[in-house]
Structure 1
């Protein structure tokens, strides 16, 4: 049986850039093994599978080429952008069901914004045995003088390791040892490294994301990582603003600059939750026969 996979670029900057995701509509009859196989054949960092839900507008399952993942930012934005453009969902307030519960989705024209939870922070003293700042920096081929602060794990649904480097030059010159990055990522229980600098014009930060143990060496936009970063910028770096514009993908080998907006919901001085989102652009579709 043939299955149509829509290829949708999420977090596009104008009409360019963004991160492509596969989106399969009417996926109710597919098994987990089917979904993994389709994700492998599509070959993108994530593919989203849309099926019926009794508790939300749709149920979404996300698969990388190697495994299922609880949440995926760019594939969520890609999916709801596609659903909005096709008129399948038209109201401003929507929702998704995932293996980790339900989340709110806001639609604004062709843009979609997904809910993430209040942040939880884990510093080096909470890392797994054998995982140190020096080992993390060595996996990126940088020294301590290249960073502003020790790496920190932040979770708003998915966990990411944030590494704050001093400049765009450092970010551009990273040489990640993907095997070591993968081992450290698995030990820390994170999706990947989110390396960033605030030394950039027009954005709160510019970033790179590495997740080789999920089959993703590097990707152009990671909405589930931009959320933790915005929380870190607010709570740890004192950027007391309600919304952050995050750039990603500009320093990839083949640049694909992406634009991610993160809006924080502050209650009594603390982040209660947040919405990360942006624009989506449908670029093509392919048919896959299992």
Structure 2
């Protein structure tokens, strides 16, 4: 089986460069989930988005890696919405998307250098007990306790992951995780992965690396949902919920993700944004 046509776009670029190559497929009802997983394995990208157009304003999007289906993928949402705007021929679209059992708002705007996309992440839960359970994860990341700048924390927009603040940029870039051990620890504790980050002195920007071998992605070029989680954590602890996070430099693919977290009656929510390079598909 050759599989459906695949478009590969660069999501969450930084200054027009880099970004995470993300495969986008207009879904076919004849495909099985085994077919989708196989397609994801053939794309040469970490994640593949499968779009069922459905209604014009509320398509369903599913995400697969070579290891299986994910409940969500932030940079995949950004890639999918950019492709939908490109296919429509419009310059701007405000709509909704169904993913992982929920529906949320999206915005896509055509720019001279690509498509800017924002989406509502929803409520993010934060847990303070991570430091007592994450010791094995810290070692698996190749870190010592002295490398940790503050308490680690569990954050979940639906799937939990560990937020790991390291003491400086140099420590972050020098991390060499034991991926087999990290995958085992994440599965044992039920985490998607570990989002390690170093804040700038102003805490308005950060550099980060996302390690998720438990879902088949040793290191993610851009993990947008974790940026939203970091924004929620910063709002909760410092009152500032706006952040730009740089990722992908260690992989030669500089990326940027933006997030703004706010307090609501339901809890802390975040809005996440990124730019997809100009499409030629």
Give the aligned partner of residue 184 of structure 1. 185
Q: How does 1:1-290 map to 2 (within 5 A)?
A: 2-53=3-54, 57-87=58-88, 91-109=92-110, 110-124=115-129, 132-199=133-200, 204-236=205-237, 238=238, 240-250=239-249, 252=250, 254-267=251-264, 272-281=268-277
Contact 1:81–1:281 (CA<8 Å) still a contact in 2? Answer: no
Over the aligned positions, Cα root-mean-square deviation in angstroms equals: 2.4
Cα pair distance change 1:278/1:134, threshold 3 Å: same
Does the residue aligned with 1:3 lie in a helix, a strand or coil?
coil
Q: Which has the higher contact order (CA 8 A, sep 6+)?
A: 1
Cα pair distance change 1:282/1:33, threshold 3 Å: farther
> How many Å apart are 1:272 and its aligned residue?
4.2
Q: Deviations over 1:6-36 (max 9, x none)?
A: 0011100122011111000143332111101
Does the residue aligned with 1:114 lie in a helix, a strand or coil?
strand
Cα pair distance change 1:248/1:203, threshold 3 Å: farther
Contact 2:180–2:213 (CA<8 Å) still a contact in 1? Answer: yes
TM-score by length of 2: 0.89
Contact 1:261–1:278 (CA<8 Å) still a contact in 2? Answer: yes
> How many Å apart are 1:217 and its aligned residue?
0.7
Q: 1: distance between equivalents of 2:12 and 2:26?
A: 20
Cα pair distance change 1:183/1:200, threshold 3 Å: farther
Q: 2: distance between equivalents of 1:102 and 1:90?
A: 23
Cα pair distance change 1:179/1:57, threshold 3 Å: same
Q: 2: distance between equivalents of 1:272 and 1:249?
A: 27
> How many Å apart are 1:124 and its aligned residue?
2.9
Cα pair distance change 1:40/1:249, threshold 3 Å: same
Q: 2: distance between equivalents of 1:200 and 1:37?
A: 44
Does the residue aligned with 1:279 lie in a helix, a strand or coil?
strand
> How many Å apart are 1:233 and its aligned residue?
1.4
Q: Which runs of 5+ in 1 are unaligned?
A: 286-290
Contact 2:137–2:186 (CA<8 Å) still a contact in 1? Answer: no
Contact 1:158–1:224 (CA<8 Å) still a contact in 2? Answer: no
List, as ranges, runs of 4+ consecutive aligned residues in structure 1 with deviation greater than 6 Å: none
